[in-house]
Amino acid sequence: MAEARGGSLIIFGTFIISLFLSQLPLPDVLRWARPEWVLLFLVYWVMRAPARVGLFYAFILGILLDLAHGGVLGLNALSLTLVAFLAQLLYRRMRMFPLLQQGVVIALLTGLNQLLHYWMQGLTGTHGDSLLFLLPALFSGLFWPPIYLFLERFARTFDLN
């Protein structure tokens, strides 16, 4: 099953890239305008290779993201596991939607992710009153089509399933 093992490495490689992208600092003006890279990649792989990338994978990914972020440990584990669960429920139906509509679902999933972060921020500190915290959800939805297409080409090249 060397092929299978190679595939898992590739998938893990793309997640490393998503972690890298999530840590890139942006200029102050754009600080809310970032898509949730790890979440996007996670939903893609749950849709594409549900047998390889499941709830436990999402949990570990969330732990890594928490460590990278320096925030409350377990927060991203919680939200990414939840998102992976919902993706597992929805992926069959989502595969039939056009990309733009899929983007809407992604935006909603990211919105849920953002909401969890916002609540945790409220619990442990103060937060602003604006709805800016939902902006990453919008951008995640917008970035979904190109990321989907990019990763599709990737997966097809390595014939992953």
Partner 1 sequence: MIFRNGPSKVLFLLLLVGALSLIVLDLNSPKFREGRNYANLIITPLQWLVDMPARLADNVSDVVVSRTTLVAENNRLRTEALELEQQVLQNVTLTAENRRLRALLNARARVESEVRLAELIGVDPNPFQHEILANLGSSDGIAPGQPALDAGGVMGQVISVAPLISRVMLITDSRSAVPVESLRTGYRSVLLGNGNPESLELDFVPATTDIRVGDLLVTSGLGGRFPQGYPIAEVSEVTRDPGRPFMIIRAIPTARLDKSRHLLLVDRPPSLLVESEDPADG
- What number of chain residues touch partner 1 (CB under 8 A)? 47
Nearer to partner 1, 86 or 142 (CB): 86
- Residue 63, exposed/middle/buried by CB under 10 A (0-12, 13-18, 19+)? middle
| Separation between Cα atoms, residue 128 and residue 130, nearest integer Å | 6
Output the furthest CA–CA distance in the chain (Å, rounded): 53
Site string for partner 1, 90-129 (x = CB under 8 A): ---------------------------x--xx--xxxxx-
With CB under 8 A as the contact rule, the residue among 42, 75, 83, 107 that binds partner 1 is 75
The number of C-alpha atoms within 13 Å of 58 and in the hemisphere containing its C-beta is 28
Angle 143-56-104 (CA atoms, 0-180°, nearest 5)?
25
| Range in contact with partner 1 (rule: CB under 8 A) among 1-9, 47-55, 98-106, 144-152 | 47-55
**Nearest 10 degrees: CA dihedral of 88, 93, 97, 103?**
-30
With CB under 8 A as the contact rule, the residue among 59, 94, 115, 138 that binds partner 1 is 59
How far apart are CB 140 and partner 1 at their closest, in Å? 15
How far apart are CB 6 and partner 1 at their closest, in Å? 20
Interface with partner 1, residue 134, by CB under 8 A: no
Residue 121 phi/psi, 5° resolution? -60, -40
Interface with partner 1, residue 22, by CB under 8 A: yes
Q: How far is C-alpha 4 from the geometric centre of its chain's CA atoms?
A: 23
Residues that bind partner 1 (CB under 8 A): 16, 19-20, 22-26, 28, 31-32, 34, 50-51, 54-56, 58-59, 62-64, 67-75, 77-78, 81-82, 85, 88-89, 117, 120-121, 124-128, 133
